[in-house]
């Protein structure tokens, strides 16, 4: 049965749900299709958010290093 909403799997549904290849494979064999879809969407969004956060962090670090290395360079990058 589904680990999230508690929906029971029939054998067919179980096979179908475990056979589906989502993204990098089935990481959620204990979720029904609906919950798995929601979970995967959340995870995908989380990955996107994480990438954006890391990218922003990297840019901030670069800007901080640039302004530390030389004042005029940092200011020029900022403007
Ligand atoms: Zn479910």
Q: How far apart are the CA of 11 and the centre of ligand 1, in A? A: 15
User: How many residues are given for the chain?
Assistant: 79
pTM: 0.55
* Tokens 């064999």 found at: 29
Whether the Cβ atoms of residue 15 and residue 43 lie closer than 8 Å to each other: no
Q: How far apart are the CA of 8 and the centre of ligand 1, in A? A: 8
Each residue of 42-65: b (16+ CB within 10 Å) or e?
A: eeeeeeeeeeeeeeeeeeeeeeee
Q: How far apart are the CA of 36 and the centre of ligand 1, in A? A: 7
Helix (H, G, I), strand (E, B) or coil at 55: helix
Neighbours of ion ligand 1 (CB under 5 A): 2, 4-5, 7, 32, 35
Q: What is the pLDDT of residues 3-12, one digit of tens each?
A: 899 988 776 6
Give the mean model confidence (pLDDT) for residues 12-25.
55
Give the mean model confidence (pLDDT) for residues 5-32.
68
């Amino acid at each position: 049965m589904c680990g999230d909403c508690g929906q029971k799997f029939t054998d067919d549904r179980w096979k179908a749900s475990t056979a589906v290849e989502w993204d990098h494979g089935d990481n959620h064999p204990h979720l029904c299709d609906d919950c798995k879809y929601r979970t995967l969407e959340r995870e995908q969004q989380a990955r996107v958010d994480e990438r954006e956060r890391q990218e922003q962090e990297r840019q901030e670090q670069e800007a901080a290093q640039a302004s530390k290395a030389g004042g005029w360079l940092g200011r020029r990058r900022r403007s």
